[in-house]
Structure 1
Amino acid sequence: MKSTITDVAKLAGVSIKTVSRVINMEDSVTEETLNRVSQAIKQLNYQPNNAARNLKGTNSYTLGFVYDNPNAYYIIEMQEGILAECHERGYELIIHPCKANQVNIVSEIKAMAKRSQLAGLVISPPLSETPEVLAAIEELDLSYVRIISGCKDSVEPTPCVFIHDREAAYKITEHLIEQGHRDIAFIGGDKGHHSTDERLSGYLAALKDHDIQVNTDFVVDGQYTFDSGATEAKKLLSLEHKPTAIFCCNDEIGAGALFAARLIGFDIPSQLAIAGFEDSPFSRQTWPQLTTAAQPTNLIARKAASLLISHIAAKRSKAKTGHAVTHQHFEPQLLVRESTRAESAQKPVA
């Protein structure tokens, strides 16, 4: 038979109300009681009935994940990370894809949040960087956590998970410089994504710190897609003065750039080095595999959900008069693979 909250209370030697406080992560529970009840929950494999919890009072135990991102791999990892944390903490998840640039985006998100009676939202770029969307969520008095591009010193008035794109982009560019490259091109991602700006900033900072003049012909706008990478790489490789390395704003762009370069006849990496960003499956499905910045998307998503649930609990707790804004930080790590491993930069074929 399925375990009940009464079974948990009996095994832990506490009241049903105390078990409820532990499940709801209220601050009034002592550490010793928390450990005892948590052990009983684990031993009995107790799963809270979220539908019943939602009906009993004003507190909801459903989170929402709102996103606009064409990268299926990124979205799958985000969903899996958030779901894992929800299952462990007794929450349900509603997934809501949308288009950030559509006219009615604000009313759409507000309607979804009200209809679903959400306790809170996890928001990823570019929605997490859209002032109109954030203002609408504030109007609903709804807890939320933003996943955004930032740096070690980033501070925001709301809970955030910061991805240190600038520092990671700096390290990728510096790696290319250390391989002997000075003619390094950059293919950007979608405009409107702060990650595009941050990764470009890291690239430019590395060039400056190594006394390399920026060639404006080498800095091109793109989109976070394979086709964009292929298109922009063809343009770069048609220049009279060609780059010997290309830093792509994500792995999907990098895979497209590598595909186009090989079709033209460039050997990778002896005639052209290519690096991506994020360590998505795209980086491992190319030949040679792409040097990239390993970004733990699943863990980032899980931490975002954990941060949100803790924020919701603190907001609900009657024992607290206020709650501190908490941030999490992640810096993608340089992962060197064969697409940039050359003894030195060589001139490309004419």
Structure 2
Amino acid sequence: MLEVTALGWTLTIGVIVALLALDLAVGVLRPHAVGFREAAVWSVFYIAVAIAFGFVFASIAGWDFGAQYFAGYIVEKSLSVDNLFVFVIIMSTFAVPEKYQQEVLTFGIIIALVLRVIFIALGATLLSLFSFMFLIFGLLLVFTAVQLFRHRDEDPDVDDNALVKASRRLLPVTDDYVDGKMITRVDGRRMVTPLFIVLIAIGSSDLLFALDSIPAVFGVTSEAYIVFAANAFALLGLRALFFLVKGLLDRLVYLSTGLSLILAFIGVKLILHWLHEDVWHDAPEISTPVSLGVILVVLTVTTVASLIKSRNDPAAKAHAGSMRAHRTREEKRS
């Protein structure tokens, strides 16, 4: 079992908060359209920081725990790319001006990080108290994988988001973005801007991704510290990664298929772990190195196959995948 001192937690949280403050300063205090070069520099920086942390952590805690961190980081990073698909859809649906997209993304990342901290604490507590939660988490991931694979050629429908619909119905919303403000006054009346609704849409999508990603990362490590660190470092680079790859996302046509395979694999791993611990002690277990290898192979094959497909069929377009089939216009009206 990994023993992390109060000082270790404090230093880790301090580094993450400092990086978050840096991201906030870049994305909110200086709103501007982000170019490819700037996005590339920041993306490389955040990935380098995550890798450096992994090597430092492994040298202190041992390479077994280090492998668990890198496996968790890769899982969360790959899931975050799918999250970017949804961000792109939301930004396009609400026609968010480029100079305000950084602000929305940064606050969206903060919301995602807070939600993950809550779910990590809850997940770690449940797993320590009830071993059958490994079975529950495993079945949840397998179900998610099946649904994602079934609807891999669809995109989430923002119009079906309950929070967005309720906000539009209950809150007075301005017609334009009002200099990037979220709340403003028009003729003495307090109103929210479309940017506020966009943040609600992103925050609610973050909640859904947290429900999937936390069980997934607990499938490669049971250590709450590693789960937290892997999630935090994977999320911190999302803002820059969004601007770096948003023009390339359409080419990753098999990403949803690859993610569904990864989620199903981790789900099976959790179920086997439950069987081994509670039912049948001779049940096979999947080691961390094997998990890391499978995840890397699936992501590599998915990426290469996507690029080949896009090159041979320029009309092919990637989709974020959806947990349910879309309703028709007639069904929405009814």
The structure that has the greater radius of gyration is 1
Give the TM-score normalised by structure 1: 0.28
- Higher RCO, Cα 8 Å, sep 6+: 2
Give the TM-score normalised by structure 2: 0.29
More helix by share: 2
